[in-house]
Amino acid sequence: MIAPVSKAAATVAATPLVKAAKSFEAVFLRQMIGAMRSPSLGEDVFGSNASNQFRDMSDARLADSMAGKFGIAQMLEKQFKDQAK
């Protein structure tokens, strides 16, 4: 059986284009998640800026973990691979 490539080995082999494309996808996803949260349904339960900051950090972490799974980064890599040489 072939062993799966570890996450560390996969990140070492990533080119600058791959990293940039994945980072762009993460930024795009952060914006999308933020837009989905923007409609307010009422007062915040805790009513503090701390909960908003925590939510923003949580959204950023979620977007970072989702980046690379929607195909946006792969499309960008394909589009710009000739220009990156």
Q: Is residue 9 part of a domain?
A: no
Identify the top-confidence range among 8-22, 43-57, 66-80.
66-80
Q: Is residue 1 part of a domain?
A: no
Q: Which domain holds residue 67?
A: 16-35+47-85
DSSP string, 41-70: -S--SS-SHHHHHHHHHHHHHHHHHHTTSS
Residue type, 67: A
CA torsion, ordered 35, 80, 73, 38, to nearest 10 deg: 0
Q: Count how many domains the chain has.
A: 1
pTM of the full structure: 0.70
Residue 4 confidence (pLDDT): 57
Q: In b/e form, how buried is each residue of 32-65, taking b as 16+ CB within 10 angstroms?
A: ebeeeeeeeeeeeeeeeeeeeeeeeeebbeebbe
